[in-house]
Amino acid sequence: MVTKLEIQKHLKYLKNGASKKFIELFNNFDEEDLCDRKNFTGHITASGTIIHVPTREVLLLHHKTLDKWHIPGGHVDLDDDSLFDAALREVEEETGLTVEQLIPINLIKNKPYCVEINSHPIPRNEKKNEDQHYHHDFRFVFAYTGNKRIHIDLNESLNYKWLSIDDPYLQKIMTDPETLDPILLEGLESFEQSVKLVRHNDYLVTPLASYLFQLGQHHYDRGNWESAEQMFRRSVSAYENTYDDEYETPPSILAACWNLATVYEKTNRHSQKLQALEKGLNFAKEFSRLDENFLPEISEFTERIDASRHSTGQL
């Protein structure tokens, strides 16, 4: 059962605080009433913001009853041991994704904490004889690296879709969506350090390097060269520092090197451009020993290196 002590801990670590309505609810009701769905002053719910690392997209479900797109989540049950357990249960029920497939983000002292408490009105439901009330949604964040095709509960949702973190719709349903990138990066860094210590590189997924590349590409497409450079460099560094001969993520690492070279070219730093291309070439040679599909990348990097040297008189 969720306790007031647990709620107080979430409030303690919440960066942007809670709404006045929630504070009033917390002060005026006992623990059972706080989560009671028949408390029409308002009650606590729990949800999971699932971010697909390879594409930097957020999962939304089309709610059957409300006829709105929202993140997976729902009411807290009396037998839920914690708010996080409630969020995870709802995510599993509604999306089919399991705890083994998800990486909890925003861990403090090895325990997951919500990143926001989103207070929003729920309209009257005459079929269920429910008055208009407020949901105070404790929102947790999960990273996901798997297939975007999932199996939702059609009793709860009509459909699902993945939206870019930058999509304006997320501004409507989240209190502070721009905090997701730094929260996710910090969480992935902690995750990879813990996995590296436990498993000694014996895994294929490179979520941190992949997500850093997506952030770099986001800035690259908008001509934000300084930010793009920073993210591409961190992506390559994350790959080098964490992995040996795994090749689940190389396409994005090669693209990071290629685009980093373009950033250097646009900012007239030709020696750095050449270094980025040579690093990409070395990666491509390494990957081609495991998979011959990377042979064309060797030719592409070699041709661009030769052209770069020729243009600067190094040939």
Q: What is the CATH number of the domain that holds 23?
A: 3.90.79.10
Residues 82 and 136 in one domain: yes
| C-alpha separations of 34 from 20, 125, 257 in Å | 15, 20, 51
d(CA 133, CA 35): 13
Three-state SS at 6:
helix
Confidence at residue 215, expressed as pLDDT on a 0 to 100 scale? 94
Same domain assignment for residues 38 and 141: yes
Judged against a pLDDT cut of 90, whether residue 49 lies above it is answered with yes
Residues 164 and 94 in one domain: yes
Judgement on whether residues 102 and 34 belong to the same structural domain of the protein: yes
- Per-residue pLDDT reduced to its tens digit, 189-218: 888 777 665 444 444 447 888 899 999 999
Q: Are residues 87 and 135 in the same domain?
A: yes
Domain ends where: 151, 181, 211?
181
| pLDDT one-digit tens code per residue, 238-293 | 888 765 544 455 678 899 999 999 999 999 999 999 999 999 999 999 888 878 88
Instruction: Identify whether 189 is part of a domain.
Output: no
The CATH number given to whatever domain includes residue 235 is: 1.25.40.10
What is the domain count for the chain? 2
User: What backbone torsions phi and psi does residue 182 show, to the nearest 5 degrees?
Assistant: -65, -35
Report the pLDDT value the prediction gives residue 197, as an integer from 0 to 100.
Answer: 55
CB-side neighbour CA atoms (13 Å) of 210: 23
Question: Do residues 139 and 233 both lie within one domain?
Answer: no
Between 147 and 199, whose confidence is greater?
147
Pull the structure tokens for residue 6. Answer: 């647990």
49 and 158 share a domain? yes
Domain range holding 212?
201-311
Under 8 Å CB-to-CB from 258, ≥6 apart: which residues? 276, 277, 280, 301, 304
d(CA 31, CA 186): 32
Residue 268 near residue 274 (C-beta atoms within 8 A)? no
Mean pLDDT, the chain, integer: 90
